[in-house]
Structure 1
Amino acid sequence: MPTVASNERSTGETPEILAGRYRLERMLGAGGMGVVWRARDLLHEQYGDPEPYVALKMLSEQFSESPDASALLYSEFALTRQLRHPNVLHPYTFEVDAAHRQAFITMELMHGITLDKLLCEKPSGLTWHELKAIAVPLLDALAYIHGRGVLHGDLKPSNVMLSGEEVRLFDFGLGLAEKGPCKRLPHLDRKRLKAWTPGYAAPELLEGATLSAAADVYSVACLLYELASGNHPFRRLPSTQARDARLERQLNAPRNLPRRCWPALRAALAFDPRQRDISAAQLRDALGGGSFWW
């Protein structure tokens, strides 16, 4: 999902209108796998909808040329379609423009600021009140999806949006299902393609291990530490250094986090997944919020 902002339409082969209905207006962002556009739904506009806008996600040119590209995009749609949580972005439709051989997902057009932009505005970190208002609903969303056997796979500041007073988790392009019907869906071969974001990927993922709930917990813990201090806990060091136990031992509690919350966050930041013995729900509760969506 969006990581690089742009105000201009692409001058490449991206069509102006998809499926005879969605007019692409401007690119909202481009990540490693996907490109997201602001699009106007011409059908809704025809029937007088005053806000006929959606976000439209398609795979980047690099991935769209792959023979299984459409299947991967559909997998992301199917994975998130089953989720019903106020802090998880819900998709609208999966469609294919046959003329342009372009698959895409439509979803709610969010208005707000992603957490990476918020960190730029708050270089010293958030106050505890501000942090808790983001951390509790985000961790509740993560606990919810884990409870339904879904793993996110790419938790980082640019994949969480603050929209008014709402927190929204999005971009499940690297996600997968541990159980249920979606477990049979195709997913990205992570051994062939190193798609993890190094600064937030759990050390075991960088070493070739499979995605797990514990890996998601590590990623969200890095994000929360950064929100609390303004600094990444391990300064986005390369994976070979990030596995150095000395760095882990030198980790100090962020100044904006209450002392009582530090042991839980510290456990979530353990390099060794066997020592990362805390769930998203337990971390949520430690930061002061009980479940509100079960």
Structure 2
Amino acid sequence: MISAVKPESVWKNMKKNPLLYLMLIPGILFFLVYRYIPIGGLVIAFQDYKIHRGIMNSDWAGLRHFKYLFASNDFYTITKNTLILSGLDLLIVFPAAIVLSLMLNEVRAMAFKRTIQSVIYMPHFLSWVIVGGMVTAFLSMGGPLNQFLGMFGREPTIFMQESSYFRSIVISSSIWKEVGWSTIIYLAAMSGVNPALYEAARMDGAGRMRMMWNITIPSILPTIMILFLLRIGHLLDLSFEQIFVLYNPAVYDVADVIDTYIYRTGIMQGFYSYTAAIGMFKSVVGFVLLVGANYMSRRMTGSSLY
């Protein structure tokens, strides 16, 4: 469990290491400018906001936008799509990084291990625009996948315009791009496991699988729980870039999520107050989920964010 730091010790550390704390200034400014100051803009969710009139002079609307939000069929569609894709991410992508880390941790040929790590890290540095282009080309009518399936007599399929394939495409592309990068944290946690535990287990006749289940996984469980809690807090925050470059009107029924709906309705159509209400709802739900999951984690495992 992460314990609180006494104020006196913080000030003492600042006096001893002023340059280290100066390095925090860019990060603090980032969160201040892009995270905390914009919170004041949530007031437009309760207004009929007009750009030419500004926040101070726009008419007050009260809860009208929230009432329209909960009465809208679009709201339930985008919320369902967001929850399904986020749920698949938690059930498939999140554990995939743990499994891959455990597999890499068992590799003893260091040259081979480093090579594999470098290969699986690289997709993380590609933007979703590039990855989206690669996925579209791979799944196009004349792409490699349709050519391969054509060898078995199957007619070409426009995968990107089939609703039944979209969620699989999103999850598969997420695994390919991000899972390798996520292993860094787990491998770092595994490197901190006391080697004496493995030696004692080996002397007792435990095999590598038994040591993995009884030593490695319990040792990194706090790290897993912390990362899981952070994921829960962003349950409604899917990667906008990923969905935006992959979806199209033909798959809106399963692909349109909260963030893409906010972009189309708020920015493109100018319904700023309505989409601000959606964003506020999303933030409140994320906060409630984070607090609830943090409480459950603290009660069940002893690991928590606070």
- TM-score strictly above 0.5: no
- How does the TM-score come out when normalised to structure 2? 0.23
Structure richer in strand, relative to its length: 1
- How does the TM-score come out when normalised to structure 1? 0.23
Q: Which structure's relative contact order is higher, taking Cα pairs within 8 Å and 6+ residues apart?
A: 2
Structure richer in helix, relative to its length: 2
Q: Which has more radius of gyration?
A: 2
